[in-house]
Amino acid sequence: MSKTFALVTLALAFVLAGCNTVKGVGQDVQRAGGAIERAAK
């Protein structure tokens, strides 16, 4: 039972870390897009 719990907890940690990483990349791309847009004006 404890091995199953440990595996589920580990998998959940990877999923949450992945979401944070994707969110961070999205924010960086959004900032870069804003900078390009301002430079074009």
Looking at residue 24, what is its pLDDT?
77
Type of residue found at 15? V
Residue 9 CA to residue 1 CA, distance in Å, equals: 12
Number of domains in the chain: 1
Place of tokens 């900078």: 35
Full residue range of the structural domain in which residue 9 is found? 1-41
Type of residue found at 32? A
Looking at residue 25, what is its pLDDT?
75
Per-residue pLDDT band at 1 (split at 50, 70, 90) = low
Looking at residue 12, what is its pLDDT?
82
Confidence check: pLDDT of 35 > 80: yes
pTM of this prediction? Answer: 0.50
Looking at residue 27, what is its pLDDT?
82
Place of tokens 């994707």: 22
What are the b/e assignments for 13-25, b being 16+ CB within 10 Å? eeeeeeeeeeeee
9-29 pLDDT tens trace = 888 888 777 777 777 778 888
